[in-house]
Structure 1
Amino acid sequence: MERTKASDIVLGLQREINWGHLDQMKSNQAVMQKLDNVTEELRAMKCSIEYLHDGVRTVQEKK
């Protein structure tokens, strides 16, 4: 259930943000706040977002 919920959070965020424009995103405080909020939610669910060098993000459950 946690994995599904974490995935739903990330998918919802992906719909709102174009992942290909990280430099543009960093200048947008509202977007960065949303990312922080989602990261905190995932931490609360014992999940994490891994930021990979090619810009792809994955949700990992902490073991």
Structure 2
Amino acid sequence: MAGQVQERAASQEPFRPDEDVEGGREAVADQIGISRPQLANALQGRFGLSRSAATNLLEWLAA
């Protein structure tokens, strides 16, 4: 079972907000209250988000 999950995860393309979300990263960043560069850095794992921005991102993802 675990092997199937890993295979499926490996076969899926990564989430790319610029392509998958209307308005791209700029729109997502505006909706969660941060700048586009902050969002890009967080998605690349360079820097974390504040608690409020992380909460807003999780709420946005759940919507």
TM more than 0.5? no
| TM-score, scaled to structure 2 | 0.35
> Larger Cα Rg: Structure 1 or Structure 2?
2
Query: Which is richer in strand?
Result: 1
Could you state the TM-score of these two structures normalised by the residue count of structure 1?
Answer: 0.35
- Larger RCO of the pair (alpha carbons < 8 Å, separation 6+): 1
Q: Which has the higher helix share?
A: 2
